Structures are given as structure tokens and as C-alpha cells.
Amino acid sequence: MTNKLISALLTVIVTLQLSGCASAPEPPAYEPPDINNLLGQAQAAQKRGQYDAALKHYLEALEQQPGDADILFHIGQVQTQLGNTEYALRAFQDVLKKEPDNIEALTALALHKLKAGENQQARTYLTKAKNLDQQRLLSANHQVLVGDGDEQALQPLDKTSPLRCYNALGILHDLSGEYAQAREMYQLVLARAPGAANVLTNLGYSYYLDGDLRQAEIHLRQAVQKQPDFKRAWTNLGLVYARMKHYKRALVSLKQVMPEADALNDLGYFAMLEGRYADAKELFWRAIDASPIYFAKAQDNLEKLQEMQGKSVTAHSSYRPMPLLMEANYKAEVSNSVTAEIAGEN
């Protein structure tokens, strides 16, 4: 093969290689997922209870829109649902840095503070959220909020009002002994969500703390009718009946949430604390009869009862709410026990 032929062949080969390289497709440039699709997938996953997947999509959306308050709020919600309190608080605080008057973030942050027992901070956030909502409602009616709003009649709530905010404020009022103000908050919520069993329960318990046992019974009965599996309502109804000395009704109520022997023992202890020693003794013995495993516990209570009788301890003549279920009941599931009706309106 002559040198000229070899040179010609090499030229053809190189030309073919170059043309092959030129015709090879270049890899496509990276295109981030459509943010609307990401948010749609996140919301759908959140509704299905797939919180890890929802969080992933929200974080991807946040990468495309850093600092977006709405996305940050949803991240805070999901982190709350996952039990990641620290990250949830950080997300809600980031929302407030962007939008200091964001009512939803103020309410969500307050509920975390309330659950942690930081009542004063919770009250500060909730009061601000309530005042912002009331100002919005007044503006819609061409009125103006005067001062801090405490002396002004509260406006009825609408579909965008933060119902959980008003419910939580009611709880804080009750814990401070401000029963009339507490009930005003609950009634505002119930006007929008009459089937909210947890709010009916809070209202009934507020009446219980204030000594109005009849109204307490009425609202707690409504709560268990609306939501028959709501344990806190049954427990509080049992307490009301016990204070009324309606032990049969109290037993029926408490048996909805605990075994009969437990209910009898608890009723006996309640009666003992109130100075009803004969009632307490009978209830303790009934607990023993209902379950032999209660023999030791009931015997201890009977010995304590005899000791109290020996000291001639009697119940105080004026009404005094028992501490058995006060703050513990209210803190329990403050942010999670809200009914679907409230969640849908919030």
C-alpha cells in the first residue's frame, strides 16, 4: 500500500470519527422539577399521612424559592406531625421573620409553647394572633380595634379565623382562673364549629372549675354525643358526676375509658380527698370485689382513709376544684386533639 493511499485512508477515518463526534447528542441541561408539581405532591402526601415524603417535596420546593413563608409554614406543620419539635419551631420562627403578622405561624408557635408549659410565651403569641384576626374582622365591618382589644366586644369568627388560637386562649384563661373569659373564647369557636368535641369538653370543664356542675354536665354530655370515643370528655364527665355524688353515673362514664376496678378505685380516692369517707370506704371495697389485684392498692387507700378520719379531716365548705385533672388535662394533645371540623376551618 503506497504512502499516498495510506494517507488518504487515514484522512477518511479521521473525518468519519470527527463527524461521529459532532453528531453525538449532548446531555440535556438539568431542569429542576416544576415547583407547582412539587407542592402538589407534598400536600397530597401530607394529607395521606406520608410525612417523610411530604417533607422531602417541601424542602425541594424551598430550594427553588428560598425563604418562602408559605412553604416554611408547611414544613413546620410536617415537622410537628413527625414529632421534630426543634425543627418545627425553627420553621415557624423563620416564617415570622419574613411575616411578623402571620396569624397561622403565631398560633402554631404558641401551641408548641403551651404544650411545653411555657404559658406566658404562648399567651403572648396567641393574644397577638387573636388581635390581628379581630382587626381583620373589624375592618371587614368597617370598624377599628381600640387599644389592645381587651375591652372591646369580640367579633364573631369567620372561615379564615384561627379557631385553634381562640381555643388555646380559652385554655390559658381557665388555667389563670379567668373562667368567664375562657368560656367566651370557647363559645366563639363553637359558633363556627358546633361539633367540636374537644372544645365542648373544654367548655364543660371550665364550668366544672367555676363550680357550675349543671352546665358542666350539659356540655360534657354534648361532647360525648358528638364524639363517643373522646376519652377526656368521659373522664371529665365522671368527675362532674362524682362531685355531684352521682356515683353510679360517674362509674358508667369512667368505665368508658378504664376497667371497672380502676374506676371504682379512682372514685374512692376522689371521695376520700373530698372528705366523704363513708363513700370512699364503700368504693374501695367495691374495687377489691371487682378485681382481686386491687386488694393491695385498695388496702393502702383504706389505711390512708382511716388516718385521715383519725385526724378529723373534713372537706372545705366552699367549692374548691380538685387538682386531679386540671393542667394535665388541658396540656394533653392541645395541638393534636383538635377535631377534623376545626382543622378544616383553621
**DSSP characters for 197-258?**
HHHHHHHHHHHHHTT-HHHHHHHHHHHHHH-TT-HHHHHHHHHHHHHTT-HHHHHHHHTTTS
C-alpha cell at 289: 370485689
Q: What angle do CA 61, 63, 65 make, to 5 degrees?
A: 70
CA separation for the pair 31, 29 (Å, rounded): 6
Q: What angle do CA 338, 344, 346 make, to 5 degrees?
A: 75
CA separation for the pair 66, 297 (Å, rounded): 59
* Cell 484522512, residue located: 11
Amino acid at 66: P
For residue 53, the surrounding DSSP H or E stretch is: helix 51-64
CA separation for the pair 8, 17 (Å, rounded): 14
Nearest to 232 by CA among 200, 261, 264, 271: 200
CA separation for the pair 101, 93 (Å, rounded): 12
The per-residue pLDDT for 330 is: 39
Distance from the Cα of residue 158 to its chain's centroid: 20
The answer to whether 221 and 201 are in contact (CB under 8 A) is no
| List of E strands, the chain | none
Nearest to 345 by CA among 90, 198, 161: 161
C-alpha cell at 190: 363553637
Give the three-state DSSP class for 131. Answer: helix
The per-residue pLDDT for 291 is: 81
Distance from the Cα of residue 26 to its chain's centroid: 53
Q: What is the pTM of this model?
A: 0.79
Distance from the Cα of residue 188 to its chain's centroid: 18
pLDDT tens per residue across all 346 residues of the chain: 544 543 444 454 444 454 545 455 666 666 778 889 989 999 999 999 999 999 999 999 999 999 999 999 999 999 999 999 999 999 999 999 999 999 999 999 999 999 999 999 999 999 999 999 999 999 988 776 665 555 678 999 999 999 999 999 999 999 999 999 999 999 999 999 999 999 999 999 999 999 999 999 999 999 999 999 999 999 999 999 999 999 999 999 999 999 998 899 889 888 888 888 889 889 988 988 888 776 667 667 777 777 776 654 443 433 334 443 433 343 333 333 433 333 333 3
Give the three-state DSSP class for 151. Answer: coil
Amino acid at 190: L
The answer to whether 283 and 242 are in contact (CB under 8 A) is no
C-alpha cell at 169: 386562649
